Amino acid sequence: MKSINPATEQLIEAHTAHTPEEVDQILISVDRAWQTWRTTSYEERAAFLRRAADILQGERDACAAILTAEMGKLKREARAEIEKCALVCRHYADTAAETLKEEMIETNYEKSTITFQPLGVILAVMPWNFPFWQVWRFLAPALMAGNVAVLKHASNVFGAAKKIEEIVQKAGFPQNVFRALIIPSSQVEAVVKHPVVKAVTLTGSEAAGMQVAATAGKELKKTVLELGGSDPFIVLEDADLEKCTDIAVQSRTLNVGQACNAAKRFIVMEGVAPAFEALLKKKMSALVVGDPSAEGTDMAPMARGDLVENIHDQVSVSIEMGARLVCGGRKIDRPGFYYEPTILADVKKGMPAYDQETFGPVAAIITVKNAEEAVAVANDTPYGLAASVWSGSTERGEKLARRIDSGMVFINTLVASHPKLPFGGIKRSGYGRECSEYGLREFVNVRTVCS
């Protein structure tokens, strides 16, 4: 369990794992903390969370430096991620009490009330691609609802996990309300089964989600899963090509394309496909790939060497099967886990670039004849996380969006998460929601009280 700098391949830190006995003691301590935390008022919880937001913003650059060092995130993207964490803390501090207030329902009983009670210890299994944001977007609502949490972070970003635990402590939260478990993935099953753990949230791969959900299901414990995506980016013939190619480049290279909700399949009307391809090539080819800590860098390294090998294999096999390489398609010969910004055209069903999630800076262009075919191709995937539609008519775009099988659809704008909007998918992209009031109510007991 080592943190390796993706830009240099140098060791940052080797992390000492908690023993099974230590994990057991941590879990018991967190459960004990819950017995008191559950009785605190929303006002008290909000005060702690606002202090955490203050610390995040006050230590923004230090937190961002961890992201840049551990998983290679661009400095400006890392700073934006920390600011977003502070935003989600303030959002739930401001809104949770109203969302979770008791509801009076008129029935034949003298009094009928719905209350929202915390469940207890929630296990969060989180990924490496947004190491702070994906923890805080779960943790802020979980704590405001009166739950406590333990975190099993990805093994290459344990430095981020430790920093989050430190921030919670600095904010003055009661001891053991949140703890980071420094353990390998092989020990997650035992934690899921532990009697004090009441529910699990996981953001990660489809395989990891299936494994955790199967274990939790046998234990009759609730899960929320946010998994992969192969998100369609539909370009209609009346789209603003300058704007949509700007966003296409941003979506495909933000975080080096390592985002589940990033556009991956570019489904373009044949009448505008040549112009779209030419603009996309011009903009992708102009990107500066290099040191993520340098202000002039447009695209950073990928997070790990195996991820470079995997994306290169998907590109190579797709080309062997008939895809046309427009630009890129090579590993960059320098220290670090770098891959060229890549465009594949003439992508067809059966190719990895069509069928699989491409978790890297690779855009797959699929040409279609009309909007009907565009919808069919968009839905021709086992995933259903997000999608975007580009049209000169917002009304037309919205009408088409209603036919796409996904948890989120954005019209003429970049797909992105927001604390006020539910985030999550369908099909093999998972189930449940994060953010908004829906995310806040995922880990509560909706209790009916009648008299």
pLDDT digits (tens, 9 = 90+) for 58-116: 999 999 999 999 999 999 999 999 999 999 999 999 999 999 999 999 999 999 999 99
Give the long-range contacts of residues 183-191, CB within 8 A, separation 24 or more. Answer: 183/17, 183/18, 183/23, 183/152, 184/1, 184/17, 184/155, 185/152, 185/155, 187/20, 187/23, 187/152, 188/125, 188/152, 188/212, 189/215, 190/20, 190/23, 191/23, 191/27, 191/123, 191/150, 191/152
- Checking if the pLDDT of 134 tops 90, the result is yes
- Checking if the pLDDT of 1 tops 90, the result is no
pTM, rounded to two decimals: 0.95
Which amino acid appears at position 354 of this protein?
A: Y
What token pair was written down for 335? Answer: 């220290």
Roughly what angle, to the nearest 10 degrees, separates helices 133-144 and 158-170? 40
Q: Do the Cβ atoms of 155 and 204 come closer than 8 Å?
A: no
Residue 58's pLDDT is: 98
What distance in Å separates the CA atoms of residue 87 and residue 338, rounded to the nearest whole number? Answer: 31
What DSSP character marks residue 421? S
Q: Calculate mean pLDDT across residues 403-422.
A: 96
Q: Which ranges of 254-364 does DSSP label H, i.e. alpha helix? A: 273-285, 305-320, 352-355
Q: Calculate mean pLDDT across residues 246-266.
A: 96
Residue 186's pLDDT is: 94
Q: Calculate mean pLDDT across residues 401-407.
A: 97
Residue 129's pLDDT is: 96
Q: Look up 43 and say whether it is catalytic.
A: no
Q: Calculate mean pLDDT across residues 209-213.
A: 96
pLDDT digits (tens, 9 = 90+) for 141-198: 999 999 999 999 999 999 999 999 999 999 999 999 999 999 999 999 999 999 999 9
Q: Calculate mean pLDDT across residues 404-433.
A: 96
Q: Calculate mean pLDDT across residues 266-270.
A: 98
Say which of 226, 277, 434, 442 is annotated catalytic.
Answer: 226
Q: Mean pLDDT of all residues in the chain?
A: 97
Q: Look up 327 and say whether it is catalytic.
A: no
Domains observed in the chain: 2-227+429-450 (3.40.605.10), 231-418 (3.40.309.10)
Say which of 85, 89, 244, 260 is annotated catalytic.
Answer: 260
Q: Calculate mean pLDDT across residues 39-61.
A: 98
CB-based burial, 184-216: b 16+ in 10 Å, e otherwise: eeebbeebbebebbbbbbbbbebebbebbbebb
